[in-house]
Amino acid sequence: MAQLRFDNRVAVVTGAGRGLGREYALLLAARGAKVVVNDTGGALTGSGADAGPAHDVVSEIRAAGGDAVACTESVITPQGGQAIIQAALDNYGRIDILIHNAGNVRRGSLKEMSYEDFDAVVDVHLRGAFHVVRPAFPLMSDAHYGRIVLTSSIGGLYGNHGVANYAAAKAGLLGLSNVVALEGAVDGVLCNVIVPSAVTRMAEGLDISAYPPMGTELVAPVVGLLAHESCPVTGEILVAIAGRVARAVIAETPGVHRSSWSIEDVAEQIDAVRYLAAPLVFPVVPDGHGEHIRYSFGTAARNEGVRNV
């Protein structure tokens, strides 16, 4: 296969000063993209600011012959999100790719987590995503082209101890991505979710001695495809962990239909309700919402018809 390149494409990568975001920015730039490297340079908790990381990545890109500019605005406000997208317009006149990777972590058990810590994490991961998607999406729609990649996590899919804020925000991104994919489909704007795992500063304090190789370079190519003009999917979730790339889906069992239910009926049927031998997956695009309803209504109609014969 010929090398997949990004010549003449303009990309915005949030949280690009370190870790995964840095890897994404370097890869896109090496393949010809013009990159806005966005990072406030704050601590892992989200506090503080340091322009150094974003400018360091820009220097790396330029030293390798690429084209990039730094932006240190924060995604946590609508004004910051607008300024990040505006940086692409001011420097390159357009935006083709948006990768929202910015993140922070504030740990605490559910019994002890403060409202401040909950909001601080949701502000970066979930509201931050909306703050950059909202100004970018109309531009992409008008151009009839766009690639958006949002970042969820294993915690968003399955939860984890001590990160109710992080898990809630990351799960919320799945819903946001679905709507972007649905509303963008008519204009060639694709949106997908990456669920990445890599050893970055977010792994600080963890015992990683038994981990297999989990470098950021094992994740970046997956994001690269999702950001490329040849990307074949939208409204999907791809997982990248330790060299394994997979698709995650929201699935339903076929379920059980009755014309009436009692609590006891549910208790008696719960195993059949949960039986996953033939799971149903309704693709987000073109109309997963409608397919879910049509399937359910169809089941009711068929069963009621049989009952009424």
- Say if CB 185 and CB 234 are below 8 A apart: yes
Q: Which residues are catalytic?
A: 166
SS3 annotation, 227-267: HCCCCCCCCCEEEEECCEEEEECCCECCCCCCCCCCHHHHH
Q: Round to whole Å and give the CA distance between 92 and 99.
A: 17
Contacts of 97 (CB under 8 A, 6+ apart): 6, 9, 10, 11, 12, 28, 33, 146, 147, 148, 149, 227
The count of residues in the chain is 309
- Say if CB 192 and CB 237 are below 8 A apart: yes
Which string of DSSP letters, residue by residue, matches 145-197?
-EEEEEE--HHHHH--TTBHHHHHHHHHHHHHHHHHHHHHGGGTEEEEEEEEE
